Amino acid sequence: MGLTVKQEKFCQAYIETGNASEAYRQVYSAKGNAATVARSAHEVLENPKVAARVAELKEDQKDRHNVTVDSLLGELEEARKVGKEKGQAAAMVTATMSKAKLLGMEGSSPDDETPTSVKVTVQVQDARREPKRDPATA
């Protein structure tokens, strides 16, 4: 693919940490301020060869762990059901979303290989407790 040794190390560190700035600091021994490091890390990630290698590594991880958007959706559905029954969905949802993030799948859709940001809010209510009543309306 024609990457330099440092670019390959950056790709590996980026996949491992999920953080371009941290990967840049590790590989290039950067000590500058956070904005400078972030800008430099972004420039490395924008290199077409680096971007292609990162995508390749992410795909390898997905294949190795046999994780798909469908399997993640299945886990989230299971968390929803358990949460409804036992009020314990939050930890399961967090674990599934962490797995998606590690594999670079957070915010991506099956038809689009470009990740997009998606905010998911899960509200868990303990069904065993009665809701508090407002004395003014009672």
- For the chain, give every domain's residue range: 5-65, 67-138
Residue 79 · residue 96 · CB < 8 Å = yes
Q: Which of 84, 53, 56 is nearest to 76 (CA)?
A: 84
Reported pTM: 0.49
Query: Which single residue is written with the structure tokens 């795909």?
Result: 59
* 88 CB-side CA count, 13 A: 5
Residue 115 · residue 107 · CB < 8 Å = yes
Distances (CA, A) of 63 to 44, 57, 67, 124: 25, 10, 7, 32
Distances (CA, A) of 35 to 88, 100, 110: 39, 27, 33
Residues 6+ apart with CB under 8 A from 12: 57
Residue 80 has pLDDT above 70, yes or no: yes
* Domain 5-65 belongs in CATH node 1.20.58: no
Better-predicted residue by pLDDT, 54 or 64: 54
pLDDT digits (tens, 9 = 90+) for 7-19: 999 999 998 888 8
| 3-state SS, residue 31 | coil
Better-predicted residue by pLDDT, 61 or 131: 61
